[in-house]
Amino acid sequence: MNKTKILISSIAIAFCASSVNSFAFDKTPGSGPNPFSDCGIGAALFKDTKWAAVTSNVIWDIGTTAVTSATASPETCSGANIIAAKFIIDNYDNIVEEIAEGSGDHLASMYGVLGCDNSVQTEVTASIRTDMVQTINQADYQDKNLVQKSSDLYNIVNNSTVVGNCAVI
């Protein structure tokens, strides 16, 4: 198990390192990689299940090793982006519901990872919400799996014109 994780993490780091060359010098919003597609971790980290069925009171493998290893990857595939992507897929429904309302704990936690100050969060949410309205009204939204939806949301956040105020993006 550990060997598998080390292998996956190594591949992830290698992919991330190679991505750095492409993205490191372009800092405009939306120009960074999307961890779902660009950081090479893929299925190891982002699973298409609402939530892995686990039994309470039992220790379970939650992929923290992969996340921790991924944090070692440089710059654009940075640890915070990976953690944010993982947070988005694991809390997707809560985040999307809170974007619809305009605020919430999950949304605030996501901004915490991305380094968005309280002062800009309302503006960022409004911007993301505008894009989410377009996305959710698309005919194929219903058919997308959780990874695709989370990847789209990650792109929306990343492409927002106001996320320049967030330290990580």
Partner 1 sequence: MQLKTILLCLIIYCCTFEVSAQKIRVLSYPTELIDSISASEKWQKLIKLSPNFDSENSNINIHSQRFYFSEMSELTAKKELIKTLYAFQNTDHQNTTEENPQCRFPARYYWLKKQFDLSNVKEVECHDFLAWSKLSSTQSLSLIFATGYLGNPASYYGHTLLKLNSDQNKKLNLLETSVNFGAKVPKNEDPISYMLKGVVGGYDGSFSHSSYYYHTQNYLENELRDLWEYQLNLSQDDYYFLVAHIWELIEQDYIYYFFDENCVYRMYELFSLFDDIDLPPIKAPWVIPQEVVSAINSATYKGVPLVSKVKYIPSRQSSFYNKYWQLNTNEKLLIAKIVENPEQINLLNAEAIVFQAKLKILSTLLDYYQYLISVDKDNVKLNKQSYTRVLTYRYNLAPGKVKFKDKLAISPHLARPSSYLQLGFMHNEKLGNGVAIKFRPAYYDQLDAESGHIRNGALKMGELDLEYINNKLAIRGLSIFEVISVSNQATGLPHDGYDAWRLYLGLQKQDNKCTNCADFTFKANKGLSIPILENTTVGGYIGGAFVENYLDRGRVYISSNLTLNQSINNDWNFLVDLEARKYLENEQVTKYKVKAETRYRVNFNHEYIDFRLILSNDETVLSLGYYW
**Contact call for residue 55 and partner 1 (CB under 8 A):** yes
Sequence-separated contacts (24+) of 59-62 with Cβ below 8 Å: 61/1
Which whole-number Å values give the CA distances from 134 to 18, 47, 64, in the listed order?
A: 33, 25, 34
Side-chain-side CA neighbours of 88 within 13 Å: the count stands at 28
Could you give the CA distance from residue 148 to residue 111 in angstroms, rounded to a whole number?
21
**Contact call for residue 167 and partner 1 (CB under 8 A):** no
Could you give the CA distance from residue 45 to residue 56 in angstroms, rounded to a whole number?
21
The nearer residue to partner 1, 28 or 55, going by C-beta atoms, is 55
**Contact call for residue 48 and partner 1 (CB under 8 A):** no
Q: Which 3 state secondary structure label does DSSP give 40?
A: coil
CB of 10 to partner 1, least distance (A): 19
Interaction with partner 1 in 79-138: which residues (CB under 8 A)? 83, 87, 90-91, 93-94, 96-97, 100-103, 105-106, 108-109, 112-113, 125-126, 129, 132-133, 136-137
Interacting residue ranges for partner 1, rule: CB under 8 A: 50-51, 53-59, 62, 64, 83, 87, 90-91, 93-94, 96-97, 100-103, 105-106, 108-109, 112-113, 125-126, 129, 132-133, 136-137, 141-142
